[in-house]
Amino acid sequence: MNEPIVAVIGASKTQPGESDYADAVRLGRLLASAGYAVASGGYGGLMEAVSLGAAEAGGRIIGVTAPQVFPHRPGANAHVTEERPAATITERIQDLFAISAAIIALPGSLGTLTELVVAWNMALVAPFSDRPPTPIVAVGETWSELVRTLTERLETNGDLVQCVGSVEEAAAAVERKVVPPASSSA
């Protein structure tokens, strides 16, 4: 279990049959086939989809859940092989990113935006602690527009978030930045 972990964040309400769901399944499959473990919030929507794809490729799937925050959810999705419960949303995000060598943002809403901005800020401040920034890849035009706007308006480093148009590009970007152990590569 020395494989690098890639966190995937995205919408919780996307359903099977939707194009974003199919994209997330493909991403999970691509990441696991390349030798990465996949981590997410562990619930439904795109979290479930990326878990399904990783499971189909025989990958390790980590779900960082928040049962006290979401008591109505029955627990981690069926594809999660390791559940890591957190007490709060803040702890959930911190744990998810602390275990991850890279982060991929799929389409989402306010929760995904929050996670993306936290990841971006963590990458920005990492050099203050003599650490390299964690690679962040955002998929889709919405994130591309948002990153451009925030970079301009907040005068921050937009280069810390690589924006791409497809999950294939996202997986390739992670492979260029975080090389899995040779023995894990498929």
pTM above 0.75, yes or no: yes
Q: What is the pLDDT, as a whole number, of residue 181?
A: 66
Could you give the CA distance from residue 169 to residue 186 in angstroms, rounded to a whole number?
18
Could you give the CA distance from residue 38 to residue 21 in angstroms, rounded to a whole number?
16
Write out the chain's pLDDT in tens, 186 residues: 689 999 999 999 999 999 999 999 999 999 999 999 999 999 999 999 999 999 999 999 999 999 999 999 888 999 999 999 999 999 999 999 999 999 999 999 999 999 999 999 999 999 999 999 999 999 999 999 999 999 999 999 999 999 999 999 999 999 999 987 664 444
Give residue 49's region: left, alpha or beta (phi > 0; psi -120 to 50). Answer: alpha
Strand partners, 9: 105
Q: What is the pLDDT, as a whole number, of residue 184?
A: 43
- CA-angle at 14, arms to 35 and 169, nearest 5°: 40
Give residue 147's region: left, alpha or beta (phi > 0; psi -120 to 50). Answer: alpha
Q: What is the pLDDT, as a whole number, of residue 75?
A: 87
Q: What is the pLDDT, as a whole number, of residue 2?
A: 85
Q: Are the CB atoms for 113 and 146 separated by under 8 Å?
A: yes
The residue among 11, 4, 2, 3 whose CA lies nearest residue 116 is 11
| Domains identified in the chain and CATH numbers | 5-184 (3.40.50.450)
Instruction: For strands 5-9 and 161-164, give the pairing.
Output: unpaired
